[in-house]
Structure 1
Amino acid sequence: MILGILPESPADKMALGVGELVTKVNGTHVHDEQTFYEALSRNRAHCKLEVLDTNGQIRFVQRALYEGDHHELGILFVLDEKKWDSAVV
């Protein structure tokens, strides 16, 4: 689950919000921070996220990635296994 977004970061520009849950990265289901970054590193030029918002609605956000961006999206995670398990089929 997203705990925070750094101001002016790529995540901020993608309009990600606190309390949202990233369920897919570039088409790959993710269940923790490690699988998030593994999926992100598979396509270093583009980032497409499937996000479960705080209202339970799924939305998609995307942006091009530039050198160094994939480790600096500006997302602060908190691991909540229960939420990830219930959101990912």
Structure 2
Amino acid sequence: MSSFPVPMQRIHSLALWLRATRIKAGLTQRQVAEASDIFTGVYGRIERAGMMPTVESLQRICGVLKLEYQSLVDRVKRGEEPPED
């Protein structure tokens, strides 16, 4: 599998969006990870901006969090901040 460089700012922004959406949905990291079929520790690293998920993993996470994948990607690219509580 090939990879491409992703700016750290975008990884951090994605992590913020996922965390904010998960909390707003009232879900734990474990619940999102299990429903997305990824390890809980891996999901935790994604939320802490310690790693970038694969496209497939991010699509599954978006499904669990009821986020539209392309909309999330576009918001991250534009540098939009996630909504606060």
TM-score (norm 2): 0.32
Which one has a larger percent strand, Structure 1 or Structure 2?
1
TM-score with structure 1 length normalisation?
0.31
More helix by share: 2
